[in-house]
Chain A
Amino acid sequence: METAGLAAAGMEMEAAGTAEAGTAAGATAANAPDKEASSSLAYAIDIGMLDLENAEFYVTPGGFTALKYAGKDYKRIALRRALPIGHPMEYISVADKDNKEIGMIRSLCDLSEKQYGIVVAELDNRYYSPLVYEVKSVKDKLGYVYLELVIGRDDRKYKKSCAVKDVNKNIRMLDDDRLAIFDVDGNRYIVPSLTGLDKKSLKRLEPYLF
């Protein structure tokens, strides 16, 4: 499942302590010796974690994720990952339909099974990055790189063609083994493991891995 894949990838990144995750993980590590300062900062500034005991996520008849919290019924909420690359299942911001933050969830593991399912489904709907299973062809055309990919989500695979402009910026390594491809329309595709790709696909992508 996509979710599990992302979660696993997130954990791998933490362990690797790589570039992007490093920013988040690094910040935590850097703060560690100064525990007193960080705790006093946390005391001074309320991050606004949700009291999950009193939070109830549910799906409205209209198809939206909603939340009952502190006596209020928020009919359409937005869930956003604070650190989508390094910690996709932690620090989730919950905002109302006017984008005003209601609070944050420190870790999805703190939710009950049912609540976890609703929140994760909403996050999966908001963050759409199909995985790349195969690279059929890569062509340089007029300054664009035109890719034919086999992509998918939840093990359903299909072919997709996309054009990428400015490859330096839009084909980028997320860590030592993961790659993100951003096409001209704004779609994003993730190669979960470069080493896991077949040899031909890897060879086709190689000129763009920097």
Chain B
Amino acid sequence: MLKSYDFQYDLDLAMQPAKGTLSFDETGRILSRIGDKTLLALPAKEIAEVSVIPGVGCGLLFARRDDDSEILLCRFTMSSMKAAGEFCKVVNFYAQTKQYVIPDQKEKPVCEKCGRPLVEGMSVCLFCYNKISVLKRALELLRPFAGKIIPAELFLALSSVMYLLVPLFSRILIDEYLRPMKGTFRQILLLAGAMLLARTVGELIFILSSRVFNEASIRYANHLRNLAYEKIQKLSLNSLSKRTPGDLIRRVMEDTTTVKNFISDGGRWAVEQIIIFGIVLVILLFTDFRLTLLVFLPVPVVCLVLSRFWRFIHIRYERQWRKNSKCQSILHDIIKGIRTVKSFGKEEMEIKKFSNATRELAQISSDNESVWACLFPTMTFFTGIGEFLVLYYGGNKILNGTLTFGVLVQFTMYITYIYAPLRWFVSFPRWLADALTGMVKIFEILDEEPDITSLPEPKNVPVAGRVSFENVSFGYKSYEPVLRDINLAIRPGEMIGIVGRSGAGKSTMINLLMRLYDPNRGRIIINGTDIRDMSPEHLHENIGVVFQDTFLFAGSIYDNIAYAKPGATIEEVIAAAKAANAHDFIMRTADGYNTIIGENGHSISGGERQRLAIARAIIKNPSILILDEATSSLDVETESVIQDSLSRIVRGRTTIAIAHRLSTLRSAHRLIVLDEGRIAEMGTHVELLRKKGIYYRLVMAQRQTSRIAENN
């Protein structure tokens, strides 16, 4: 049997569903088959490269031959896109090295139980996940809080029992004292007092249990939140970029709150209602078996009506919620972009847009209120049917002399205790489903294995000396390579400028050097050690980085500079600020280094923000400095101030700088020109100009732009 690497595609060439296989076998043949029919056979030795072209909702794989002719291999839907990218990697490795190496075939993960494919980003099957094990795990996390939760549950049970005493006392009062007209004032006072006492004690215990419960559930949610947040901080950018920031925030904040609400409300009420239901049922059965059956006669109808009612109302309110959310997002957008709205004179248009959205919201809210006003009494009527039956049947029994009036009163009072839990039980599955969803999503985060891992015993060699990229290839999506075969050696203390068009892979190169991602192929060596063998913390400790979009945290200037080195002395902070030409502007503020800058430094200018970012990058005296478009968003004057500080800072440090304004990279020892993920040119500014290649064209284009700007 020939070894082969297979890619299962799902569309034929006419874009109709098909079960096709593209295989690359050890004889170096690429075969495309649908069923028994071979559509294509191609020797891989003729192939220079296999690539994916993504379409809209689909994609295709094609091969480029050595003679530059191209041939379509197969088509597929987006469900096979990832596997197509993997296939390309395998064949392209062969095309470059002529070595047949096939990795373990990663089948699309499917559920072991039902065989359905697992949803991207989920490790559990949506249909087969074990609810009990999820609950068990949530309960295990509850263990540290058991000391509070168990007594609180006991208090709650006790308070329920206290409430249940009241109908019992009512029956005694009626049957023993009022109906026979035998009771004394003292006896009645005693019973009324007992009822009052039972109620009061019940309420007090309830308050106590609520307090304990709330405290425990808040701490539990806090614990879950911290666990999730801690894990997010440890996950790699690659793992995190699979989810949106909103999704992660929802998991940390909203999902934990859902779980907390379930425990503080759902869990607590579940115990209370089950206790009440059980006790009342026993009392009713012992009091009058037949009457009890009558109470339960309408229960199936009541449950059906209630479940339909909640489903119906849930959908309507969900719609209202979404309309409301749409209004809020329109408002948020307009207020945020009010300058743009006004400068384009689009106030009327925006007013119309918002008023349309609010009108829709008002309409659906009003409809929902009308439905609620009509449905709620109907629902109450259905849940009260049992009472009518008991009154009719019980009344007859009283007239026949087979039932006392007190027992009937007791019955009708207990019916409320039976129906109240029913209302609750009907909405419980929805409540439980929400909580389980929240729990599973939190556990997804907690269980995720970081793909940037550290060795058990990392080789934390000094991050200085030679930096080498050896045959590095990388793509954020495996089927779309961003960097291809990068080979570069940087000498210690050398300043390297990386230039190229947008999307050429400049920032990706430094992302790899910072080990925010690991290369798909090849390695990055610092001082003779693969950076994957170092701990990420050690690497980051020794790399200083300034991005174009500086992010400053809400807090003081001092805290922001010291962020990179928490134990920094005051002198170190001032020295860093001076080196970054930030000291003077800081000193001009009333509070100096204690000046509070708002969220993302909105109270200071762009140039000032950038200088603080530089100070933050150099405070730890990094041996490698990375400047990713550090000055490109600034005006020429501010840029020259910052360039001045940078030129002092980069001296003696290995520096890698990316800049759009090519003039800022003139002082670089070497420039690297990236084009479509490959190093196209390398040399000094003068050498590259002489070469009259891509760099020359970029410089000329910029000069022309500056000239036009000057003339204007």
State the A residues within 8 Å of B (CB): 60, 62-64, 75-76, 78, 84, 124-129, 139-144, 146, 153-154, 156, 158, 161, 163, 165, 168, 183-188, 206-207, 210
Contact = CB atoms under 8 A, between A and B. Distances in A.
Contacts of A76: 70
A125 B15 contact: yes
A152 to B, nearest CB: 9
A185 B16 contact: no
Contact of B70 (A60, A143, A144): A60
B15 A210 contact: no
30 contacts: A62-B62, A63-B13, A63-B72, A64-B70, A78-B53, A125-B55, A125-B60, A125-B75, A126-B58, A128-B58, A129-B57, A141-B127, A142-B122, A142-B126, A142-B129, A142-B441, A144-B126, A163-B119, A163-B126, A168-B325, A183-B78, A184-B119, A184-B121, A185-B77, A187-B77, A207-B318, A210-B319, A210-B322, A210-B323, A210-B326
Interface in B97-124: 116, 119-122, 124
Given A63-B13, A143-B441, A185 B70 contact: no
A141 B325 CA distance: 22
B15 A63 contact: no
Contacts of A146: 126-127
A124 B15 contact: yes
A182 to B, nearest CB: 9
Given A75-B70, A142-B126, A210-B322, A188 B119 contact: no
A100 to B, nearest CB: 12
Nearest to A164: B119
A161 B116 contact: yes
A185 B56 contact: no
Contacts of B127: 141, 146
B640 interface: no
B71 A63 contact: yes
B77 A129 contact: no
Nearest to B127: A141
Contacts of A127: 55-57
A187 B17 CA distance: 13
Nearest to B319: A210
Given A142-B126, A187-B57, 20 more contacts: A60-B70, A63-B13, A64-B62, A125-B15, A125-B58, A128-B15, A128-B77, A129-B57, A142-B437, A142-B441, A143-B437, A156-B17, A161-B116, A163-B126, A165-B119, A168-B322, A168-B325, A186-B81, A187-B78, A187-B79
**Cβ-closest 7 pairs across A and B:** A63-B72, A128-B58, A186-B78, A141-B126, A62-B71, A128-B57, A126-B55
B116 A128 contact: no
Contacts, number: 93
B52 interface: no
B120 A184 contact: yes
B443 to A, nearest CB: 11
A78 B56 CA distance: 12
Nearest to A124: B15
A161 B115 CA distance: 12
Given A76-B70, A128-B15, A185 B120 contact: yes
A64 B17 CA distance: 20
B315 interface: yes
B671 interface: no
B440 interface: yes
B69 interface: yes
B40 to A, nearest CB: 10
B257 to A, nearest CB: 15
Most buried by B among A75, A84, A126: A126
Contacts of A154: 16
Given A156-B16, A207-B318, A188 B57 contact: yes
B57 A206 contact: no
Contact of A186 (B16, B57, B441): B57
A135 to B, nearest CB: 16
